[in-house]
Amino acid sequence: MNGDWLSRRLSSGSGRLILSVLGGVLLAAAFSVYAVMVFLIRGAQGFERYDTTLFTVVVGYFAAGIFGGLVFGLGLPAARWLPGAAILGFLTASVLWLTIGRTVDPGATLVETLKSSLLLGAAFGIPIGVGMWIQVRRYRRTGRW
């Protein structure tokens, strides 16, 4: 796959959304394979310990991948600037944590889940957004990832 092709796709709105959601779905599939492997090796007791099922976890992963991909695709133009990249990382990670939290622990209140999602979104998303912003600048300057 040529980098110019990818750049052209990411510069168009619909292409950016499609690729972002597809990326989220692919990540969800990878996490789901891991969850299935855990289920096959350890059985259901690992899931039952947390009052969830394999099906619920897999659905949560795919919902998080789709919603996270949408947020990322819509916000990607803002990532040209460092504050935009930090905010985009925060928002995307918060949506991921919120979706997983609501799916895996439906007994928690929405306020509890939202608080933890915002905290985890800040803790993980901001550094990832800033790191990716720095890495893209380095790639454009040196041609090496």
pLDDT at residue 95, rounded to an integer: 96
**Tokens 């949560």 -> residue:** 60
Q: pLDDT tens across 2-43, in order?
A: 556 666 666 667 888 899 999 999 999 999 999 999 999 999
pLDDT at residue 50, rounded to an integer: 80
Which pTM was predicted? 0.82
pLDDT at residue 38, rounded to an integer: 92
Question: Quick count: other Cβ atoms within 10 Å of Cβ 45?
Answer: 8
pLDDT at residue 107, rounded to an integer: 83
Q: What type of residue sits at position 1? A: M
**HSE of 25 in the Cβ direction (CA atoms, 13 Å)?**
7
pLDDT at residue 11, rounded to an integer: 67
Residue 109 φ/ψ, nearest 5 degrees: -70, 160
Q: pLDDT tens across 109-124, in order?
A: 999 999 999 999 999 9
Structure tokens at 34: 């891991």
Q: pLDDT tens across 58-96, in order?
A: 999 999 999 999 999 999 999 999 999 999 999 999 999
